[in-house]
Every structure is written in C-alpha cells, then in structure tokens.
C-alpha cells in the first residue's frame, strides 16, 4: 500500500499575486529560502508585489519550463482567494499545473477553478486536508533514526530549527531528511502530513507514516507542532511525539517569552520541564529517547548579549544551545555523529 502522505509535483511556480507585504508572503518566502532548487520561478501580478528573489515567469513560460505545481505563497487574512487571482490560477490549472494552497477556502469549492482543473487534468491540492488512508498507530519500532523538534510554546521556530538541523547534518555527511508536519513545511519538503488536521485517533498513525522504515544510519528530522504543555494544542504534540518514536529531540524556545502566546493565564513551562515531560511521554514508544540540545529564537536579545545568553542556558542544562538562524545547529548535530 502506498504511504498516505501528500505528494506535490515539482518544480514549483511560487504565486505571490499582488501581495506587497513580505509578512503575508511568508509561505512563498519559506519555500524560496529553504528549497530554491525546487522553484522554477515566481509569478507576481504587479511590480509592487513582494519579490522572493526568484525569476519572474508567466504561466506560458512556466509550462514551457515543465512546472508541476503553482504554489500559492501568500496567507491572506481570512484565507480566501481574491477574485483578481482567479484568472491566473485558472490559466495555470487549465495548462496542467497542480494548484497547491493552504488557505481556509477549499480550492475545489471554487467552480471556475474546478472546471479549469478538470480541463487541464490537474489537481487542486489543499494542504490543510490530510490524505486518505491514515492508519491507527501500531506502536511498532521502525528502522532508521528520528529527531523531533519540540517547543515550550507554539510559533517559536520548530520548523526552521528542523530545517537547519537537516542542512547541518547533511553538511557533516549525514544521511538526513526533513519530514514536514505543517502546511508550509509540506510545500518546502514536497511531501508530508498536516498533523494538526488529522482526526485525533489517527495522529500517531500519521506520524508513523510520515517517518517510515529507513536505512539504519538514516535520520528523519521531524517538524514539531504545538507544545506539550499547551492548553489548546498539547494533544497534537502528544500524538506526534508517540508516533514519531524519536531517538533524539531538540527543545525550541523564544527568549523573553513568559506565557503561552494567546493564553496569557498560562505561564510558560521551563525548558527543563519540557525535557522531563517529553522523555516521560516519548519513552512509551522509544525508551532510548534523549534531549540533545536547545534551540532559541533570540530576536528579543541584544546581539552583544546573545553569546552570553546562550552560554548560560547551555551551562544550566548541560546541553549545546544555539540560535539556528544566527549560529546554525552544528553544535547540536555533532552530538549525533
């Protein structure tokens, strides 16, 4: 049976539309920054639209270049598809390109787009909809090795930490692959499972199929979700941890954050508490689980104080401590060599 993960056709044409704010084009920017080799170009509807540093292309040029998917690289408030985008999206679909988006509006609910896709034989891929056939977890040990990023909270760098870990592991000659569990990560990786959209009974099973059997020395670097102490999202974190069966994990944290973002009545758990609970829960399916490092988003720390801040954390927990986008993660990945 085929592994039930979303599989995207490459190369990509990253669609920016007329969005001028890079913040709202963060999905496209993430794909362009981390997987430029998968991107044939970008499509902007105006000269003022955000520039992702890719070659500008028309639909006709993209078709000639063999583009497999048009990636909607923006995240508009409300998650809708503006009317002035539809002509371009329909043209791409009718030419045979899959349309891939993580918007709240389902692509196949748009009649014009559905008709164009039928005519071109293309797919309308909503990243937020899990693929069919996800099983209940077996709990059986799988071959290969796994590293999971976990967090003291949401939205503090679990995906970017995992991507930098993969990059640094490969630079050290290790066999490693990023495994995506969220919508932007899936676009970056070209495959994955949107874990937070999976029915609860199947979350751990989804984690198992996300990281299947592999060679003994192969590492899957699995993108974490939620937070094990999060009052709203701990369930998805728990299920992902159990199904991933990680041999190693890295705790991600945002310097200066004191409370769960958006849940101000809940104080942030300490890094030590996250390590202790992650080991306790993860030991159910992998008794050898261990923490190998700490990854910190240090945006709130003055640059001249960053090294001292990281060194103090490292000393406190006796673990390598990095800011992945400033220092890289080699200090952590060396723990795996």
Q: Say whether pLDDT at 3 is over 70.
A: no
Domain assignment present for 159 = yes
Number of domains the chain is built from: 2
| 94/180 same-domain check | no
Cα distance from N-terminal residue to C-terminal residue, the chain: 34
pLDDT at 78: 54
Query: Tell me, what CATH number does 202's domain have?
Result: 3.40.50.300
Distance separating alpha carbons of residues 135 and 206, to the nearest angstrom: 7
- Answer for the pair 185, 313: CB distance below 8 angstroms, yes or no: no
How do the residues of the chain divide into helix, strand and coil, expressed in percent and rounded to 5?
40, 20, 40
44 membership: H or E segment, kind and range: strand 39-44
pLDDT above 60: residue 20? yes
Query: Is 328 a member of any domain?
Result: yes
CATH number, position 100: 3.40.50.720
Instruction: Identify the sign of the CA torsion 63, 103, 50, 54.
Output: negative
133 part of a folded domain: no
pLDDT over threshold 80, residue 32: yes
Per-residue pLDDT at 2: 55
Residues 91 and 149 in one domain: no
Domain of residue 237 covers 145-336
User: Is 111 within the bounds of a domain?
Assistant: yes
Specify the pLDDT at position 102.
87
Is the residue at 156 inside a domain? yes
pLDDT computed for residue 112 by the predictor: 95
Domain end, chosen from 97, 126, 155, is at: 126
Residue 79 is predicted with a pLDDT of: 61
**How far apart are alpha carbons 51 and 160 in whole angstroms?**
21
The predicted pLDDT at position 10 comes to 96
The pLDDT assigned to 141 comes to 95
What's the mean pLDDT when you consider all of the chain?
Answer: 95
Q: Quick check: is 131 in a domain? A: no
Q: Are 95 and 63 in contact (CB under 8 A)?
A: yes
**Do 80 and 217 sit in the same domain of this protein?**
no
Region 112-117: mean pLDDT is 97
Mean pLDDT value across residues 198-227? 97
The string of pLDDT tens digits covering residues 135-176 is: 999 999 999 999 999 999 999 999 999 999 999 999 999 999
SS3 22: helix
Residue at which a domain ends, from 126, 161, 177: 126
Q: Are 304 and 314 in contact (CB under 8 A)?
A: no
Tell me, yes or no, whether 19 lies in a domain: yes
* Position 76 confidence tier, pLDDT thresholds 50, 70, 90: low
User: CA distances (Å), 138 to each of 125, 176, 206, in order?
Assistant: 28, 24, 11
Q: What pLDDT sits at residue 1?
A: 41
87 lies in a domain?
yes
Residues 167 and 267 in one domain: yes
């Amino acid at each position: 049976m085929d592994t039930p993960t979303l599989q995207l056709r490459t190369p990509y044409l990253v669609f920016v539309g007329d969005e001028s704010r890079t913040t709202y084009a963060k999905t496209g920017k993430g794909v362009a920054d981390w997987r430029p080799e998968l991107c044939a170009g970008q499509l902007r509807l105006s000269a003022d639209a955000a520039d992702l540093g890719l070659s500008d292309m028309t639909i006709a040029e993209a078709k000639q270049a063999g583009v497999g998917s048009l990636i909607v690289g923006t995240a508009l408030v409300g998650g809708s598809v503006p009317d002035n985008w539809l002509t371009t999206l329909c043209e791409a679909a009718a030419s045979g390109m899959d349309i891939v988006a993580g918007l709240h509006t389902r692509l196949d609910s748009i009649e014009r787009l559905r008709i164009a896709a039928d005519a071109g034989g293309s797919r309308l891929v909503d990243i937020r909809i899990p693929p069919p056939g996800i099983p209940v977890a077996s709990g059986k040990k799988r071959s290969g090795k796994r590293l999971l990023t976990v967090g003291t909270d949401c939205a503090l760098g679990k995906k970017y930490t995992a991507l930098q870990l993969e990059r640094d592991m490969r630079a050290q000659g290790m066999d490693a692959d990023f495994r995506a569990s969220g919508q932007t990560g899936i676009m970056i990786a070209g495959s994955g499972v949107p874990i937070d959209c999976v029915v609860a009974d199947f979350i751990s099973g989804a984690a198992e199929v996300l990281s299947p059997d592999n060679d003994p020395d192969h590492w899957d670097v699995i993108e974490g979700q939620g937070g094990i102490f999060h009052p709203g999202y701990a369930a998805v974190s728990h299920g992902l941890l159990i199904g991933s069966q990680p041999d190693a994990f890295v705790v991600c944290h945002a310097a200066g954050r004191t409370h769960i973002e958006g849940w101000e009545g809940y104080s942030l758990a300490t890094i030590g508490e996250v390590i202790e609970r992650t080991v306790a829960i993860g030991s159910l399916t992998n008794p050898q689980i261990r923490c190998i490092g700490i990854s910190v988003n240090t945006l709130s720390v003055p640059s001249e104080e960053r090294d001292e801040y990281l060194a103090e954390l490292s000393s406190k927990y006796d673990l390598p401590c990095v800011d992945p986008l400033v220092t890289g993660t080699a200090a952590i990945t060396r723990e795996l060599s």
